């Protein structure tokens, strides 16, 4: 998306605020002590004085009619409380819970940063509350216009988005990959059952209650794994989510995730898809419970991430591309070692492309 295309896309946002006065923008730059990134300056002057971007939008300059932040009126007021410790950076958008998106004024491209004061320095002394977002202002706004940034934030967090954009995706042809022969369900269950440190299986009542809450049955293989092997915690990435029981965390089960992201009026994915396995990097594997085979899908709203001079290479630029594998094939891939600890979740799209061509 070119800058002009981005400006026009933002201009098409309903109920925009009026643009800022040139004097207000100049006053803001003098007060902050840095020029604004040219794109941000242009948007304030030509499109709207704040209120565009994710959710209710970014802060504006003086004179803005932005009313969605109860504590600060504009970027200058917000900057006054933060400038001393982080010179050259401007708090631009409030995600809630103290988390902000911050733009770096020292670079005309406007690199974005994550401000998260919730990081406990006593537990993670190596971590800073200010970390790179790995997006420029233009990229951040483009993903906001598409709705991808908010979807990634809601289903993961900004740090996961930063990891997703840390480097470009692999080319499908560069992967050292051959699809393994699909294991039988009994063999999958047997191999996983032999693994050490598994959580206990789920009781039958938990499976029944989960299916009632979801409104449909789980694929037979997934049902067997929960009942015969373990209530979550197995599989690639961070492991499949559990069924809700008295012993599981309420935010880490398939029913809760389904209720938040699938069953509401603003569902992220079609009915019947269950959020099964978080990979990190703002990527998930989902299973389609409308098919007994359990067709797998990739949730990757911040992908694909390709360099500007590289063609699309057949990777679908959608948030929900197919894995091109069933649940049994997905678990076979894991058991065969395709998804080792060094596997990059961002390469799931390339694996899917290779499987589609096989």
pLDDT, tens only, 97-144: 999 999 999 999 999 999 999 877 666 667 789 999 999 999 999 999
The CATH number of the domain where 87 resides is what?
3.40.1580.10
Position 166 in a domain? no
114 has which bridge partners? 101, 131
pLDDT by residue for the chain (358 residues), tens only, comes to: 899 999 999 999 999 999 999 999 999 999 999 999 999 999 999 999 999 999 989 999 998 888 777 778 899 988 886 667 888 999 999 999 999 999 999 999 999 999 999 877 666 667 789 999 999 999 999 999 999 999 999 999 999 999 999 999 988 888 888 899 999 999 999 999 999 999 999 999 999 999 999 999 999 999 999 999 999 999 999 999 999 987 777 678 999 999 999 987 889 999 999 999 999 999 999 999 999 999 999 999 999 998 887 766 656 679 999 999 999 999 999 999 999 888 999 999 999 999 998 7
Domain span including residue 210: 172-357
3-state secondary structure of 160: helix
Position 130 in a domain? yes
283-288 and 295-299 strand pairing: antiparallel
Q: Please tell me whether residues 179 and 91 are part of one structural domain.
A: no
Q: For CA atoms 55, 58, 63, 67, give the dihedral sign.
A: positive
Position 159 in a domain? no
Q: Give the CB-side neighbour count of residue 135, counting CA atoms within 13 A.
A: 27
Q: Please tell me whether residues 241 and 293 are part of one structural domain.
A: yes
Q: Please tell me whether residues 251 and 297 are part of one structural domain.
A: yes
Rg of the Cα atoms in the chain = 23
Sequence-separated (6 or more) residues with CB below 8 Å from residue 311: none
Q: Please tell me whether residues 99 and 176 are part of one structural domain.
A: no
> What span, in angstroms and rounded, lies between the C-alpha atoms of 150 and 118?
20
pLDDT digits (tens, 9 = 90+) for 262-307: 987 889 999 999 999 999 999 999 999 999 999 999 999 999 998 8
């Amino acid at each position: 998306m070119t800058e002009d295309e981005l400006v026009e896309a933002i201009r098409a946002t309903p109920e925009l605020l009026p643009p800022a006065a040139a004097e207000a923008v100049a006053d803001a730059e003098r007060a902050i002590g840095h020029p604004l990134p040219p794109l941000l300056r242009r948007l304030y002057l030509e499109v709207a004085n704040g209120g565009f971007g994710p959710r209710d939008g970014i802060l504006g300059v003086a004179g803005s009619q932005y009313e969605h932040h109860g504590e600060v009126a504009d970027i200058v007021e917000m900057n006054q409380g933060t400038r001393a410790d982080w010179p050259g950076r401007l708090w631009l958008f409030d995600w809630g819970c103290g988390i902000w998106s911050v733009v770096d004024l020292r670079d005309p491209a406007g690199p974005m940063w994550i401000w998260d004061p919730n990081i406990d320095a006593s537990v993670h002394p190596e971590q800073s509350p200010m970390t790179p977002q790995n997006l420029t202002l233009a990229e951040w706004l483009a993903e906001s216009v598409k709705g991808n940034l908010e979807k990634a934030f809601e289903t993961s967090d900004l740090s996961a988005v930063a990891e997703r954009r840390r480097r470009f995706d692999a080319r499908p042809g560069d992967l050292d990959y051959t699809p393994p022969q699909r294991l039988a369900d009994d063999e999958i269950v047997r191999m996983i059952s032999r693994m050490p440190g598994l959580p206990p299986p789920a009781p039958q009542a938990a499976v029944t209650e989960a299916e009632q809450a979801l409104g449909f049955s789980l694929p037979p293989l997934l049902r067997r794994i929960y009942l015969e092997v373990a209530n979550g915690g197995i599989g690639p990435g961070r492991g499949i989510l559990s069924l809700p029981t008295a012993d599981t965390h309420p935010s880490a089960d398939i029913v809760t995730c389904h209720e938040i992201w699938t069953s509401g009026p603003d569902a992220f994915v079609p009915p019947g898809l269950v959020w099964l396995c978080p990979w990190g990097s703002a990527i998930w594997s989902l299973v389609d419970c409308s098919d007994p085979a359990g067709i797998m899908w990739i949730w990757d709203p911040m992908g694909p991430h390709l360099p500007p001079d590289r063609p699309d290479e057949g990777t679908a630029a959608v948030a929900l591309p197919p894995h091109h594998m069933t649940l049994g094939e997905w678990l076979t891939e894991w058991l065969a070692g395709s998804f080792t600890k060094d596997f990059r979740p961002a390469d799931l799209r390339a694996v899917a492309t290779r499987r589609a061509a096989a």
